[in-house]
Amino acid sequence: MSDNKDHIVNLRVTSDTYEKLKKGALANSESVSNFIRKAIEGSIGLVADISEEILSLGSGDLSGIESYHPARAAKKMACARCGGNIVRGATMMVGETSGSRKYMLCEECGKKLEG
C-alpha cells in the first residue's frame, strides 16, 4: 500500500555530524533538510545493496563472492560468515565480490568456497 504523501522523519545527530551537514548544505546552496533528503535518496539503494550482501553472507550464502585467495591473518578478527575467531597468523580465505568488497573467512568457511 503506497501513498504519495510526504512523511516527516526526526533524527538525532551529533554536533560534529550537524556541522558537516551544515557545511555540505552551504557548499551546495541547499537547506540542511534538502541536503539530507538528497543524500538519503542518493545512497539508499547503495545501503540496501550492502546490507543485503552482508546479510546473505551472514546466513552462509557465499554466492556474492566472485574470487578468493588464501591469506594469512595479520591480526585477530572475526570470520565474516560464521563470526568465529581468526587468530593472528592463521591461514584464512579472502573472498571478493564484484563490488570489490573483501570478506575475511576462517579456514572452515574458506573451504566452502572451494567446493
Contact footprint for Zn ion (CB under 5 A):
79, 81-82, 84, 106, 109
How many C-beta neighbours within 10 Å does residue 6 have? 7
Four-residue CA torsion sign, 61, 64, 67, 73: negative
R_g of the chain computed on alpha carbons: 20
User: Which C-beta is closer to Zn ion: that of 32 or that of 82?
Assistant: 82
Least distance to Zn ion, CB of residue 98, Å: 21
Least distance to Zn ion, CB of residue 110, Å: 8
Least distance to Zn ion, CB of residue 47, Å: 25
User: Which C-beta is closer to Zn ion: that of 25 or that of 109?
Assistant: 109
Q: Residue 20 region, left (φ>0) first, then alpha (ψ -120 to 50), else beta?
A: alpha
User: Which C-beta is closer to Zn ion: that of 25 or that of 80?
Assistant: 80
